[in-house]
Amino acid sequence: MHPGNTKQKDQNRIPGTITNLAVNFRVLTYIIALTALIFAFDVITPLGLMVWILYFIPLILTLYLTWRYSPFFAATIFIVLIGTSFLLSPRDIPLLFAFIDRLFFCLVLMITSLFIWNHKGSEEVYQKNGERFRCLTESSSDPMIVHIDGKILYANRSALVLFGADNHEDLVGKEMTGLVEPSKRDMVERMLTDALQGTPAPVREILMAGPGQDWIRVEMLDEKVMWDRTPAVLTIIRDVSDVDSTRD
C-alpha cells in the first residue's frame, strides 16, 4: 500500500471513532456478563424470588452505548430470558401470580427502555448542536470567548490570534476580566453578571490585551448561552483599532 493512501485514510478517520468502539465493546461485555449471571441465578431460584428485577442494571448500562436503539434490543432479550426462566425455575407460588409479576415487570422494562431511548436522542441532539456551535465559532473571523463566573472555558481561533495565545490552554481557565483594561474591569464584571442573568448588554468599546501585548480597542457584545448544560456567557469581540486609526 502506498504511504500516501495510508495518510489519507488517517486524515479521513472520524475523531473519537476508536474510543467509541472501545467504550461500546467494554460496556457490551459488562451487559452480556451481567445478563448471563442474572439469568443463571433466576433459573436456580424459586419463582417467588424476584431475581429478574436485576435486569434493570444491564438495561441502564445501555445508556453508555452509542447505538440509540440498544435499550429496546436489550429489553427484548431480557423479556425472552424472563419467559425462559419462568418455565425453568422451581415453582414455589401459583403460576398465575408468577406470570402476572413477570408480565408487569416486562411492561416496566419496555417503558424504561422508552425513557432511555428518549434520553439518548436528547443527548445526540445536544452533541450535534455543540458540534455546530464549535464549527460556527471556529470559522468566524470575530473572536469569541465562552466563560462562567469570569472563568474562560472556550476561545475560538480568532480569539487566540487576537490575544497572542499559542493554544487554548493559554486562555482557558484564565479570568475574563484579566484581558480588560484595569479601569474598566469592575464595569465589565457587572455587565457579564447581568448578561448571565439574561439582561441584554449593549455593545461597548474598551481596551483589551493578552499577556505582554499592547492594548487594542475592541467592541464587546455579551450573550447568555448554555455550555455543558450550565448557563454561561458568550462574549463576541471585534477589533476596531483599525477603524479608529482610519478616523484619526
Whether 151 is covered by a domain: the verdict is yes
94: in domain:
yes
Length of the chain: 248
Given 118, 135, 152, the domain boundary residue is 135
Is 9 within a domain?
Answer: no
Query: Residue 231 is placed in which grid cell?
Result: 448557563
Q: What is the pTM of this model?
A: 0.62
Last residue of a domain, one of 104, 135, 166: 135
Are 145 and 124 members of one domain? no
Q: Are residues 159 and 205 both part of a single domain? A: yes
Q: Same structural domain for residues 115 and 151? A: no
Q: What is the number of domains present in the chain? A: 2
Which domain CATH number covers 176?
Answer: 3.30.450.20
Indicate if 158 and 128 belong to the same structural domain.
Answer: no
Shared domain check, 208 and 165: yes
Are 129 and 204 found together in one domain?
Answer: no
Residue 7 lies in a domain: no
Q: Which of 135, 160, 182 is the last residue of a domain?
A: 135
- Residue 43: domain span: 14-135
| Domain membership flag for residue 4 | no
In tens digits, the chain (248 residues) has pLDDT values of 444 444 444 433 334 445 678 888 999 999 999 999 999 999 999 988 899 899 999 999 999 998 889 999 999 999 999 999 999 999 999 999 999 999 999 999 999 999 999 998 888 887 888 888 888 888 888 999 999 988 999 999 999 999 888 888 889 999 998 999 999 898 888 888 888 888 877 888 999 988 778 899 999 999 888 888 789 999 999 988 875 544 44
Instruction: Classify residue 23: in a domain, yes or no.
Output: yes
